[in-house]
Amino acid sequence: MKRNDDSAQYAKGKDFELFVESMFPNRDFEVMQRADPEGSKIPDLYIKDRKAREKFWVEAKWRAKLFNDKFKICEPDRLESYRNFQKSVKPETVFMVLGLGGEPSMPDEVYCLPLEEIQYPSLYRSILRDKRHEHASFRYERGKLF
């Protein structure tokens, strides 16, 4: 049964990654690299903004619901791994795009924040409130993803 749970989770994660990738239109962005899903040590997407010619990384996480009013991003050791990766690619930024509710291919809510702003592996909704992304696609300006 664990194997079926793992493959269902993998499929949901992949669906959300595809949703997030669709929020980076080809006219504005180029996906330079997609992480290998099997035990990858890098974020899901490596993206280049065509206009600014700057590159950044995106890690996508979807959850069906909050747990104790928190969005669980990952385990503490995985957060540390993301932080170490961020240090290794500076000045490039790692952004976390978080989906909540609905389906992975069409979440009810989407949030975006730089990894450097994430202090804990789970975030309260109140922290996410001003990070909500209300648009169909992203735009990148001066090192920030909107």
* Domain residue ranges in the chain: 2-145
What pLDDT is recorded for position 2?
Answer: 53
Q: How confident is the model at residue 1 (pLDDT cuts 50, 70, 90)?
A: very low
Our separate counts of H helices and E strands in the chain read: 3, 9
The answer for residues whose C-beta is within 8 angstroms of residue 12's C-beta and 6 or more apart is: 62, 104
Q: Does domain 2-145 have CATH number 3.40.1350.10?
A: yes
E-only strand ranges, the chain: 29-34, 45-49, 55-63, 70-72, 94-100, 109-114, 122-124, 140-141, 144-145
* pTM across the whole model: 0.93
For residue 5, pLDDT beyond 80: no
30-86: per-residue pLDDT in tens? 999 999 766 678 999 999 999 999 999 999 999 999 999 999 999 999 999 999 999
80-116: per-residue pLDDT in tens? 999 999 999 999 999 999 999 999 999 999 999 999 9
Q: DSSP state, 146? A: -
